Chains A and B, each alone.
Chain A
Amino acid sequence: MAKIKIIEDDLSIANELKNLLENAGYEALITEDFSTVLEQVTSGNFDLILLDINLPKINGEVLLQQIRKDTNTPIIMVTSKNSEVDEVLSMSYGADDYITKPYNPTILLLRIGAVLKRSGRSVEKLSYRELEVIPQKGILEREQAEIILTKNEMIIFLYLLQNIGNIVTRDELMTDLWNNDEYINDNALTVNISRLRSKLKGIGYENAIETRKGQGYILHE
C-alpha cells in the first residue's frame, strides 16, 4: 500500500483528498504544521507527495527544490496556478507531474497511479488467474491458449484488474479510456465490455466480469 503525503493548506480540500486516496486504497497523511514540513517529508518515508504551491510560511516551488535535494520521492504538484511558466518551473525543479485545480478526481488517481508505476513503487499485478497479461502486445496468455485484445479492451481489462474484486463504475472506465486518447461513446463501451466478456468466456472464464446494475462492473478473482 503506497503512502502518500498531502501538502495542502486548505483543510477542506486536504481532508477530501485524504478521503479520496484512502478509498482508492492508499495510505494518506495530511499536513498540519507547515513550519516543519520538510522534516516531515524527509523522515516520513513516503511513496508519493502531493504538493500545493500557495502554502503558508513557505512557497511550494521552494519546498519542491528543498525536497529534491534530499530525496527522489515522486512529487505531483497540485495547484490552482495554471500558467505554463509555473508548470515549466515546477517540472524543471524536479516535479513528476503537474495537475491544476479543480481536477477530475478519477484523473488525479490515474495520474498518481501512473507516477507510482513509473517510479517502480507500485507492484502491479499483471496476471489474472492462470493468464499472464502482456499489455504491450495486447494479449492474455496461458499454456496453449491466448486471447488477443484490442487497445480499448486492454485498457478496460487492466483497469478492472487493478481494482479486482471491487466495483468499477462506467465513468471510471470511460475516464481511463479518454485519458488514453480513446474518445469512445457509451455504446462503444458497452460493446467493448461484452466483447471482452465473450473473449474471456471463450477461454473458460465465464462470468469473470459481473455487471452490477446502476453501479458498474466487478472483475472476480
Chain B
Amino acid sequence: MSKKKYLKDKWLYLVIGVCIYFVILLILLAFKVNIQATISISLIYFIGIFLILTVEYVRKAAFYSDFKKKLEALDQKYLIVEMLEDPNFLEGKILVDSLYEIDKSMIEKINEYKMQTHDFREYVELWIHEVKLPVSSLTLMVHNHKGEQNKKLLEQLSRLDKYLEQILYYVRSENAEKDYLIKRVNLAKVISNVALKNKDILLEKNIDFIVSDVNVVVQTDSKWLEFMVNQIIDNSIKYSKNKNAYIKIVAKEEKDRVGLIIYDNGIGISKSDLPRVFDKTFTGINGRSLSSKSTGMGLYLCRELCNKLGHKIQIVSQEGEYTKVTIFIYKNNFYHLEDD
C-alpha cells in the first residue's frame, strides 16, 4: 500500500475536508475573527486531518503489506487464513472473518467432490471386476466348446480385456492414494506374463518375439510394470510391418538403474509426432490411419505410472525403421523390500 495510492483512495474525504474548511473560513470571516486566530484554527484543522490520515495509514499499511507478502509467498493461496495476524481495525477483521468463511465453504465443496470422485472411482473399480467375470466365463466357454470361430472370439475377448485394463489403470493413475506395492521383481517373470497374454496375436501376425538377458531383479510393482510393457507391446504389434516383423526385449543393467528396452522394427513414429506421444488422447498419424483405432491413452498411462513409481520412460524412433521404448527403473535403498 503506497502513500500515493492511499491518498488517491481517500480523495473524497480530502475534498469534503477542504469544503468544510472553506465553510469554517467563511464563518470565521463573517464573524470578523482576527487574522491570527483564523490562521491558528486553520493550522490546527489541517494538522488534525493529517494526523487522522497518518494514523489510519500506519495501521492499515502494516497489515496489508504483510498480507500481500504472505499471499505472494504461498503456493496454496487459500492457506493465507492460517497465517494472518489478527488485524486491529474493523475492515481488516471483517476481511479475515470473511476469508475464513469463504475458505471453509470452499473446502466443504471440494470435500463433497472428493467424496463423489472417490465413490465413482470405487464403483468403476468394482464394475471392472464385475465385467471381468463374464469375460472369464466367455473365455472358458470358447475354450470348452471348440469351434471354427474360436480364434476370432478369443481375439475379441482379449481386446475387451485390454480396454478394461486400460480404464482400471487410468483410475489408478489418477488417484492420489498409494495404490501400488514396490517389491523385488524379476523382469523375466513380467515379460513372461506379457508374452503369454499376447501369444496368439504375435503368432497370428507372425511377429518374432525375441527376449534376452531379462533375468534381472528390480524394485517395482510387477502388476503396474506388466501393464506398461503390455501397452508398449500392444503398440509394437499394432504398428508392425507385414514382413519379417520382430519385437526384441532386453534389459540393460547400469550402475544406478536398469533399462528395460522394447525394440520393434515396425513403421516407427514421425519426427513431428514423437514429442507428443505421451500426451493424453494423442493419436498421431499412425493412430489415425490404422483400421484398429488408437485411444491415445496407452503411452500417456505408461508415463503417468512411471512417474508414480519413480521410473522413467523414453521413446526413440525412426519413421519407417524402428521404435525403441526404454523404461528405466532406478536402484535405490529407500524402498522397504519384501522378498518374493
Chain A residues with CB under 8 Å of chain B are 10, 12-13, 16-17, 19-20, 23, 54, 80-85, 87-88, 101-107, 174-175, 178-179, 181, 183, 185-186
- Is the C-beta of B179 less than 8 angstroms from some C-beta in chain A? yes
Contact B139 A10 (CB under 8 A): no
Residues on the A chain within 8 Å of B183, using CB = 84, 88
Residues on the A chain within 8 Å of B135, using CB = 101-102
Task: Describe B's contact surface by its main secondary structure.
Answer: helix
Please, how many angstroms separate the alpha-carbon atoms of A87 and B181 in the complex? 10
Residues on the A chain within 8 Å of B208, using CB = 185
Pairs A–B under 8 Å by Cβ, sample size 30 = A10-B137, A12-B134, A13-B133, A16-B137, A16-B141, A16-B144, A17-B140, A20-B140, A80-B128, A80-B132, A82-B168, A82-B223, A83-B180, A84-B181, A84-B183, A88-B181, A88-B338, A101-B135, A101-B136, A102-B136, A102-B161, A104-B196, A105-B140, A105-B143, A174-B199, A178-B199, A181-B192, A183-B211, A185-B208, A186-B206
Most buried by B among A17, A19, A101, A107: A101
* Neighbour of B133 across the interface among A10, A174, A181, CB < 8 A: A10
Please, how many angstroms separate the alpha-carbon atoms of A94 and B117 in the complex? 35
- Is the C-beta of B157 less than 8 angstroms from some C-beta in chain A? yes
Contact B181 A85 (CB under 8 A): yes
Residues on the A chain within 8 Å of B137, using CB = 10, 12-13, 16
**Size category of the binding interface on chain B:** 35 or more
Please, how many angstroms separate the alpha-carbon atoms of A183 and B247 in the complex? 11
* Neighbour of A80 across the interface among B129, B195, B203, B206, CB < 8 A: B129
Residues on the A chain within 8 Å of B144, using CB = 16, 19-20, 23, 105
Shortest CB–CB separation between residue A195 and chain B, in angstroms? Answer: 19
Shortest CB–CB separation between residue B93 and chain A, in angstroms? Answer: 50
Please, how many angstroms separate the alpha-carbon atoms of A103 and B137 in the complex? 10
* Neighbour of A105 across the interface among B139, B179, B223, CB < 8 A: B139
Residues on the B chain within 8 Å of A103, using CB = 136, 139
Please, how many angstroms separate the alpha-carbon atoms of A30 and B222 in the complex? 31
Residues on the A chain within 8 Å of B157, using CB = 102
Contact A84 B222 (CB under 8 A): yes
Report the nearest A residue to B209, measured CB to CB. Answer: A183
Residues in B77-130 with C-beta less than 8 Å from chain A: 128-129
* Neighbour of A83 across the interface among B197, B199, B206, B223, CB < 8 A: B223
Please, how many angstroms separate the alpha-carbon atoms of A105 and B224 in the complex? 23
Shortest CB–CB separation between residue A137 and chain B, in angstroms? Answer: 22
- Is the C-beta of B253 less than 8 angstroms from some C-beta in chain A? no
Report the nearest A residue to B146, measured CB to CB. Answer: A169
Residues on the A chain within 8 Å of B210, using CB = 183
Residues on the B chain within 8 Å of A88, using CB = 181, 183, 338
Most buried by A among B137, B188, B221: B137
Per-position 1/0 for B159-195, Cβ under 8 A of A: 0010000001000000000011101000010011001
Contact A54 B129 (CB under 8 A): yes
Report the nearest B residue to A183, measured CB to CB. Answer: B209
Residues on the B chain within 8 Å of A85, using CB = 181
Report the nearest A residue to B249, measured CB to CB. Answer: A183
Contact B223 A84 (CB under 8 A): yes
Residues on the A chain within 8 Å of B134, using CB = 12
Given A16-B144, A181-B192, 14 further pairs, Cβ under 8 A: A12-B133, A80-B128, A80-B132, A87-B223, A101-B135, A101-B136, A102-B135, A102-B139, A102-B161, A105-B139, A106-B143, A174-B199, A185-B208, A186-B203
Please, how many angstroms separate the alpha-carbon atoms of A186 and B161 in the complex? 25
* Neighbour of B211 across the interface among A13, A82, A179, A181, CB < 8 A: A181
Please, how many angstroms separate the alpha-carbon atoms of A104 and B200 in the complex? 11
